[in-house]
Amino acid sequence: MSKTGLPDEVEGANEPRSANIRYDTNEPQDSIEPHSTAEHCELQPQSEVFARLGKLALVGGGKMGEAIIAGLVQGAGLDPSALEVAEPGEERRAWLSSSYGVTCVADAALITNAQTALFAVKPQAFRQVAAHLAAVASFAPERVISIAAGITTKVIAEFFPHAQIVRVMPNVPLVVSAGMSVVAVGAHTEKAEGELVVALFALMGEALLLPEDKLNAATALSGSGPAYFALLTEELARAGEHIGLSQEQAEQLALQTLIGTAQQLQRSKESPEELRRAVTSPGGTTQAALESFAAGGFAQIVEQAVKAAYHRAGELA
């Protein structure tokens, strides 16, 4: 494949899920391949995962918070009574309660006896929220999980020094049990805690255990990635309208093409390059489109965008 990522010729669902887990933590990242769970430890049944987590306090009921709630309750089969959500917005609390059957409170300080706290707040708000809860004697979870981009386990441990600390970078498709989550543990946190959190998020899609210094890269690729694919689908549909299709027709064609391509790649085990080459006939319509992409610097645009997200994740720390 060429530097541009284009062909050389151009260059010129609701049932509870079983976990899909990978572990990539023990060797340099450029020398290993993802491994299946069976090669490392026994797959933890859902009931065991939920039992080990105990009562779960979800701090933040925004978009990602709701994605986690939906993934756990509707996708993974978590009993809503095992989850309590802290969300300051009154209308938002009402919506989450009515939609998912979970108990919601305005302040996480009101949640007692939570064994696991999962912070789903924006990075800019994390320190303020964490400082508030760290001063509450009754808020003393055994483990703290955070999905705040850029906020390191070291920072989290400053507020909760006696807890097991785990960072996660999930993405929004958790809401339909098709998320991609990357997990990392703190310096003084047992690996088993990371494995538990990997097992939890794998019930909502796929999960990967990586060293913490790779999380900003994961944020830039999979964490922000749904927006990239949504943008491409949006622009494809808009282009379809410009060549005579109705909005409804163009959106259907673009969306189903995205879904079908993803499913084919996943099921056939073809690489993206192999599929692209198979679709590209010399001198045909696809080659004409890819030549236009290449002329516009498509590969460079994508790389610059991912790097921009990567650098921003570092700034948020």
pLDDT in tens, 76-90: 999 999 999 999 999
In DSSP terms, 105 is beta-bridged to 86
pTM of the predicted model as reported, rounded to 2 decimal places = 0.83
pLDDT at position 244: 98
Between the alpha carbon of residue 52 and those of residues 44, 61, 126, 146, 237, the distances in Å are 10, 23, 25, 18, 45
Mean pLDDT score of the chain, rounded to an integer? Answer: 88
Between the alpha carbon of residue 295 and those of residues 130, 272, 288, 289, 304, the distances in Å are 48, 20, 11, 10, 16
Mean pLDDT of 281-299: 97
List of domains in the chain = 8-12+224-316 (1.10.3730.10), 21-211 (3.40.50.720)
Number of neighbouring beta carbons within 10 Å of residue 38: 9
What backbone torsions phi and psi does residue 56 show, to the nearest 5 degrees?
-110, 125
Classified as helix, coil or strand, 255 is helix
The band of 44, judged by pLDDT with boundaries at 50, 70 and 90, is low
